[in-house]
Structure 1
Amino acid sequence: MDDDVTVLPPFDVTRAAIDQLAALGGCVLIDVEDAGCCGSTYVFASVPADALPDGARRYGCPGAWLAVGPAAAAVLPGAVLDYTARLKPPRFRVLRNPNTADVCPCRRSFGGPWPGPRQPSCRSYQPMPWDDDYDPPIAWKRRTGYRSDAT
């Protein structure tokens, strides 16, 4: 891919998400894994723009690359990727996804009916992988068994 070209993804990306991608100074990968209270969850990672995993596509423009893994590519068309620092933890989130009827209220998990609050598989307070400053609530850490790399 030519680094001087802007390539638009098959979903909308808000100005806040673009600004956060640029602030991270590289490339953010979004993909999907089997996890979370509804069965599937969006996962994010900071990756070099020239070293994407097999099957991932790169969108955006220099300084604001977004890579989309194959599993995410199947469910994101028509959705909106947003970023907000108002939530705790600050995070990317997928809004108004027409391909995922069942969604957890935190917008991280989707696929099956939401089983209700306080699930051990809850991802609502999971920090972004590059966010070393956020310390999730103790009750959530106990319930989910969460351990950061620092602990």
Structure 2
Amino acid sequence: MRQRARDGQEQGDGDREERWRARLAIPGSCNIVAMIDGRPVGMASGVPADQDRLVELISMYVAPPGRGRGVGDQLVREVEQWARQAGAVTLRLAVVEGNGNAWALYRRNGFRDTGELGDLMPDGVRREHVMTKSLVDEGPADALGRD
């Protein structure tokens, strides 16, 4: 069963404290908290994926006081920087269909929809969509599609 939290965001059975604590304890992960005026307003995590040189951006959240202030962009950039330093060549994430603000954020930061469907949402109807971003700098020949 999904319910509205005090800030208007949906919470469901999977949004329990234990789940969030487990995500923060993933070995090799990078967990970032955004602060404004000494108060946390956002978070994101980067975690190693099952595939070599691939990392995932998970647990992205910006609280209402941080929205419209570039917090999401900064969180994405920080996870991307960590991923590059970790030797990743691809950054992957999953976003829910209908979350226009998240789609715009990720597209603005260079992510592209792969067409791959992700996990089924708790409502049993909607699915996440997988987006990726290449972390390999393209040279002039690569950018033109030549070797």
In the superposition, the TM-score normalised over structure 2's length comes to 0.26
Higher RCO (C-alpha 8 Å, min separation 6): 1
Q: Of Structure 1 and Structure 2, which has the larger fraction of its residues in strand? A: 2
In the superposition, the TM-score normalised over structure 1's length comes to 0.26
